[in-house]
Structure 1
Amino acid sequence: MLDDELLSTHQQELRRGTVVLACLLILRKPNYGYALLDLLERSGFAVDANTLYPLLRRLEKQGLLTSDWNTDESRPRKFYRTSDLGGELADTLSRDWDELHAAFRTLKGES
């Protein structure tokens, strides 16, 4: 029987890169961190805030996201958006994902 800790470790490894792609796709429309957490969770990507915010900062530093502060409301919010470079990466990674999905289906005998 599969150990819960072993399963959790491997699921985390599998999902780590998919969260980057999910963020780049979702953030083609500007959004802020808390709303992004909610969207990710509703889409099946359970991400902890302590994981998401450093990821957003890293993607911004890499030029894959841009950000702007919205101070129109009582609580200022930092809105992130996928940059042109991030959009190119999202498109490429999406194609790679589709190819990998097809390869896994072949391995499973699903053609």
Structure 2
Amino acid sequence: MLENDIVATHLQELRRGTVVLACLVTLRRPGYGYALLETLNAAGFAVDANTLYPLLRRLEKQGLLDSAWNTDETRPRKFYRTTADGEQLAGVLLADWNALHSSITDLDSTEGDPR
């Protein structure tokens, strides 16, 4: 039986690269960091704030996200939104993700095939 820490490590590796795609897709509608964190966690992406906020800053620096402060409420919040470049990258990443999913599904379905 596999040890829990081995499983956890591999699950983390599998999901690590998908967080960027999940952010770009989710932020097609403006959202602030904490709400994004909750949305991602609810969708099955176990991301913590110490990972998410630096990622958002990096994506913004790369021109994939825009941000604006909302000071209308009692607590100012920085809202992020996917840019046109971010949308283009999301399309490329999503197409690759779908191709990988299809390939893994094909490999899994040939598991019993004695080629």
For residues 2-22 of structure 1, the C-alpha deviation after alignment (integer angstroms, 9 at most, x for no partner) is 121111111111101111100
Structure 2 unaligned segments of length 5 or more: list them: 111-115
2:108 paired with 1:87: no
Aligned positions, number: 110
Residues 1:26 and 2:26 aligned together: yes
Match of 2:5 in 1: 5
The structure that has the greater radius of gyration is 2
Q: Give, in angstroms, the shift of residue 41 of structure 1.
A: 1.2
Instruction: Specify the alignment match of 1:51 in structure 2.
Output: 51
Tell me the amino acid that sits aligned with residue 2 of structure 2: L
Secondary structure (helix, strand or coil) at the match of 2:68 reads strand
The aligned residue for residue 41 of structure 1 is 41
Q: Work out the CA distance in 1 between the residues paired with 2:3 and 2:53.
A: 30
Aligned to 1:60: 60
SS at match of 1:108: helix
1:46-76 deviation line (CA, Å, top 9, x unaligned) = 1111111111011111111110000001110
Cα RMSD of the aligned pairs, angstroms, is: 1.0
Q: Displacement, 1:42?
A: 1.4
**TM-score w.r.t. structure 1 length?**
0.95
Q: Structure 1 residue 33: deviation in Å?
A: 0.4
Distance 1:28 1:92 in 2: 15
TM-score (norm 2): 0.92
Q: CA deviation at 1:96?
A: 0.5
Runs of 4+ in structure 1 over 4 Å off:
none
AA paired with 2:78?
A: K
